[in-house]
Amino acid sequence: MAGIDSLSAAQIAAGVAAGSFSAREVARAALDAVGRRDGSVGAFLQVSADLAFEAADRLDAMRAAGEELPPLAGVPLAIKDNMNLVGTRTTCASRMLADYESVYTATCVQRMLDAGCLPIGKANMDEFAFGSSTESSAFLPTNNPWDVARVPGGSSGGSAAAVAAGEVTLALGSDTGGSIRQPAALCGVVGMKPTYGAVSRYGVVAFGSSLDQVGPFGRSVEDVALAMNALVAGGRDPRDGTSQDCHADFLEHLDDPIEGKRVGIIPAFMEAAGLEPEVKAAVESATRALEAQGARLVEVDLPHLDAAIAAYYVIGPAEAFSNLARFDGVRYGYQEADCANLSDQSSRSRANGFGAEAKRRQMLGAYLLSSGVYDKYYYAAQKARTLITRDYEAAFKAVDAILMPASPRTAFKHGEISDPTQMYLSDLYTISLNIAGNGGVSVPVGLGADSGLPVAAQLVGPAFRDRELLVFARALERAFGTAVVAPAFAGEGGELA
């Protein structure tokens, strides 16, 4: 019998529906893979075996009763630990929420469970999603399955690593400045940030409310399309005021040819300082692969994208400061004992509950929102946002998708980037999409010629055209092959009995 990591989401669901194996056997195999592999990877903060078996038994009972099974029946799922799921803690990888028990379930998680996924566990992340390496987790580092001396990227590093190591088939992440696409690139898996508003954020701990979006990781574009179907099923979520009705079948046109489609390239992006030669070469080869399938390359100019990083580090910290003000140690979260008064309790609880980067971002946000500073930076950043959005709108009159790098470099070593402001440049190619709101997907395009580590290209689409975006991602996959489990972990445990 096959190992769990050799099967796609569709194959697992079909196998469960056909009775080739039970959902309980899948749960057992996935948990065995986690048990054998996660000591070296560190993708999980919690393993929710009981919930996985309960979900599996419900599916097996449905099959026994002759009922039709949902489309992702039995597919193992990792959930980023900023998403609430009743029966688990939701820690945001922070001491602040180390003991926080979820009291309700996030819509995105519920929709994946309704589609039949088995919740294997909660995945590690940068604390409160502040970071690009998962090194700011208060609990443990996550290692890149392709080289455990290196980081998986972040902030959804646990989710990306769990998929890359074959511990799960699908994972959920959140992306505020690149936190799905950059770790997907560094771990060699497919990661999609849908258009802002496409997926409900209800029950996801907020970081930057005008930037945050939830999306899936998988080892194939088809798996990601299946996850997107589940996430948008049910349409608009009334519990998230920004949620839009994006109901669509992401599988329906997935294999459509791209012949005659127009793909935008941005020459200035390929000359940016900090872009590693092997990443540049890989993105150029992705460009040629799309051209070979009949796409027409069109040079586009996005003149205001230079402002994206500065705009992001105004808007993001300002929104984070506002959102994280709720963690005062009273209703939930870490509380310092024996404080003289409420103000002292709040200041000391926040000082000892938050890690260094979470404090830095909030301090920056507090400064940017203070009197006299707010007018200077915040308004300027929101004006730059208008111009960046207009740049994308103009570009998408001329092209159907834009191809660019996802991360300027391959996975770096633990501790290699210690200067926080240098770390911020990791999101050079991803940040502008969060500012404009458009969808983007990181697709593996082989291994770097110098490092032997995964390299990725990023495809960007017009707002709310995420289904069409995956058609381009599938075209890249046709050329470069489906992502594979990191060789050091493939087949280790996880046998379907």
Partner 1 sequence: MALTEAEVRGIAEYARIALSDEELLEMTAYMNDAVGILEPILQYMDEDVSPTFHPIGELSNVMRADEPDDARALSIDDALKDAASVRERSFRVPSILGEGGDR
Binding to partner 1, residues 178-237 (CB under 8 A) = 196-197, 210
Q: Residue 383 catalytic?
A: no
Output the smallest distance, CB 397 to partner 1, in A. 18
List, in sequence order, every residue forming a beta bridge with 493; answer none if it has no partner. none
* Residues in 409-438 at the binding interface with partner 1, rule: CB under 8 A: 419-421, 424, 435-437
State the minimum distance, in angstroms, from the CB of residue 333 to partner 1.
Answer: 7
> Which position among 187, 381, 459, 471 is part of the footprint of partner 1 (CB under 8 A)?
381
Separation between Cα atoms, residue 292 and residue 317, nearest integer Å: 43
**Which is closer to partner 1, CB of 292 or CB of 394?**
394
Closest-CA residue to 433 (of 235, 296, 187, 266):
266
The C-alpha atoms of residue 296 and residue 299 are separated, in whole angstroms, by: 10
User: 3-class DSSP state for residue 265?
Assistant: strand
155 is an active site residue? yes
DSSP structural state of residue 128: G
Give the number of residues in contact with partner 1, rule: CB under 8 A.
73
Residues contacting 342, CB < 8 A, separation 6+: 330
Which 6-65 residues touch partner 1, going by CB under 8 A?
Answer: none
Active site residue 220: no
Out of 133, 169, 362, 442, point to the residue binding partner 1 (CB under 8 A).
362
Cβ proximity to partner 1: between 165 and 307 the closer is 307
- The DSSP code for 96 is G
CB 181 within 8 A of CB 190: no
Q: Does 310 bind partner 1 (CB under 8 A)?
A: yes
3-state helix, strand, coil in the chain (%, to 5): 40, 15, 45
> What DSSP designation does 199 have?
S
Show the binding pattern over residues 141-180: x = contacts partner 1 (CB under 8 A), - = does not: ----------------------------------------
| Integer Cα distance of 441 and 458 in angstroms | 6
List the catalytic residue out of 8, 22, 48, 80: 80
Nearer to partner 1, 385 or 474 (CB): 385
Contact set for partner 1, span 235-254 (CB under 8 A): 238-239, 241-242, 244
Report the alpha-carbon distance of residue 269 to residue 250 in Å, rounded.
Answer: 29
- CB 166 → partner 1: shortest distance, Å? 34
339, 479, 484, 488: which one contacts partner 1 (CB under 8 A)? 339
**461 lines the binding site for partner 1 (CB under 8 A):** no
Give the binding range for partner 1 (CB under 8 A) out of 25-33, 374-382, 447-455, 481-489: 374-382
N-to-C CA span, the chain: 7
Q: Is 457 in the site for partner 1 (CB under 8 A)?
A: no
Reported in sequence order, the residue ranges of 18-154 that DSSP labels E, i.e. its strands, are 44-47, 76-80, 118-123
Q: How far is the CB of 457 from partner 1 (least distance, A)?
A: 24
| Identity of the amino acid at 97 | L
From 179, 346, 426, 432, active-site residue = 179
Q: Which of 18, 31, 88, 87 is nearest to 59 (CA)?
A: 18
Determine which residue in the list 6, 11, 40, 347 makes contact with partner 1, applying CB under 8 A. Answer: 347
Residue 187 in contact with residue 218, Cβ under 8 Å?
A: no
Kindly list the catalytic residues.
80, 155, 179
